[in-house]
Structure 1
Amino acid sequence: MLRLSKKTDYGLLALQYLANEAPSGVASARAIAEKYDIPVELLAKVLQHLARLGFVAAQKGAHGGYQLARPAATISLADIVEAIDGPLAITACGRDDDQCDQYGSCTVRDPLWKVKDRILTVLQTTTLAEMGDGGDGRVPVAVSVARAEAT
């Protein structure tokens, strides 16, 4: 099953919260964790990672916390997913550091790479701002399926 890691899921929740729900755009890791009932320690690590990469800025002090470091409309979901989990891959041969024994004779690699490319396109063209626009959360995707004819 294709799915995002918990870290990416938590990162998306936190960034969406900062973009759309945080009072004055600032929130602590604890406040976000309590809102979504997720482990504060893990969320804090994710937010620290996102701060190092320039997605959020940390504010110290009594009213400190995290805030977006740039406008939500300039942050794609692909930016976030790849920042936390690395490059998107749905097969072992889809990452530079992995290789499979069937690489030379594989008949499913190219079709699966096309699927990966379509998923990546949706992630690249959907921004954090669009995640909180009040819609139903669904992103339209055009999919065409070619079927081989029976012989």
Structure 2
Amino acid sequence: MIYFWLIVAVLAIVCEMLSGTLYLLVIGLAAACAAGLAWFDQSLVLQLFAAALLALLGGLLVRKYRSPARADMAADLHGKAEVASIVAPGRLRVRWRGTEWEAECAIGSALAPGDAVSILSQQGNVLQVVAFVPPQQQ
């Protein structure tokens, strides 16, 4: 039974490296602890109970202490983005938060790739933007 637990532990940890969620790491560590119990000839019931309990407690800890997956979008609204390309009149691709987003702006705005825009709001995956106006220096 030790080999079963070790295979489960290795597979879970390898999959964790590909996903980055931390939940599979917890399952891998729980399986490794069950392998340790199997090494010391503990009963299968104790191995299963220990693996389940450790996976449950570890999952709850990850859920409690892990930062939220999606960041607070409201904090970045009214922030600045850069025009990546013009798709159609009033439709843009902008660089924001390290990736490109679809954006809409008022038709007639003279924007070109590389120009800065201010983010007004977000509707689904589309940002509502206007041309960036730097604050007046006093």
TM-score by length of 1: 0.26
User: Taking CA–CA contacts closer than 8 Å with sequence separation of 6 or more, which of the two structures ends up with the larger relative contact order?
Assistant: 1
Bigger helix share: 1
